[in-house]
Structure 1
Amino acid sequence: MKLVVEQPAARWYKSEMGLADGDAIRIFVRLGGCGSVHPGLSLGVIKDAPRRIGISEIVEGVTYYIEEDNLWYLDNKTLRISFDEKYEEIKMAVE
């Protein structure tokens, strides 16, 4: 199980969310949306202080993480967060 945040995506989050070095972004399971792994569920993001990190990656000075209690969503796969320049949007793919 792995979390990969590509640098262009990290720069986009930093700019759009006004993040500074040392901030943390929690990736969490939420009801609804267009998730591809579990019908009716998708992933959300919020600036938040970690409590029980399951996996994390630091990119551009910001910690991106998933709490232990949300790791089931990945089912031992990799979550890759990238930025689609053509559509100017974030892509989250479970691979």
Structure 2
Amino acid sequence: MKLNLSPAAIQWFKNEMELQKGDMVKFFIQIYGSSPVQKGYSLGFTKDNEPIDIGVQYEADGIVFYVEESDLWFFDGHHLNVDYNEEKDELEYTYEGVSPQKR
């Protein structure tokens, strides 16, 4: 599994969460909602500088975006691409070969 963020998504996170170099953002699994890869589960995120066991990460501008090893099952072998749709003013999650999910 790979984690990728577009420059627009990185800027959105920096603006909305007031992130600075050295900060960390964890993508985690929520037991409600839906996604193209797991019915009944959705993806959330939070600022969390105390990871337990990083399974995959992406670093940009000194900020680390990551998923814990224990949450990798959610992606079922898919790569996660995070983008920002300026027109809709929302993040878009795209799973390799699967349609986008919006947050």
TM-score (norm. length: structure 2): 0.87
Q: Is the 8 A contact 1:36 1:42 kept in 2?
A: no
Alpha-carbon distance, 1:35 to partner: 1.6
Q: In structure 1, what is the Cα distance between the partners aligned to 2:77 and 2:34?
A: 20
Structure 1 stretches of 5 or more lacking a match?
Answer: none
Tell me, what secondary structure is at the counterpart of 1:10?
helix
**Identity across aligned pairs (percent)?**
36
Alignment partner, residue 50 of structure 1: 51
Structure 1 residue 38: Cα displacement: 0.8
Structure 1 residues 69-80: aligned runs within 5 Å: 69-80=70-81
Query: In the aligned structure 1, how far is the partner of 2:75 from the partner of 2:12?
Result: 23
Q: How far apart, CA to CA, are the structure 2 residues paired with 1:46 and 1:89?
A: 16
Deviations 1:10-62 (A, max 9, x none): 11011101111110000001011232211110000001121100000001221
After TM superposition, the score normalised by the length of structure 1 is: 0.94
What CA RMSD, in Å, does the superposition of the two structures yield over aligned residues? 0.9
Following superposition, the deviation at residue 78 of structure 1 comes to 0.5
Q: Is the 8 A contact 1:6 1:82 kept in 2?
A: yes
Residue 3 of structure 1: aligned partner: 3
1:24 and 2:19 are equivalent in the alignment: no
More strand by proportion, 1 or 2?
1
Residue 37 of structure 2 aligns with an amino acid whose one-letter code is V
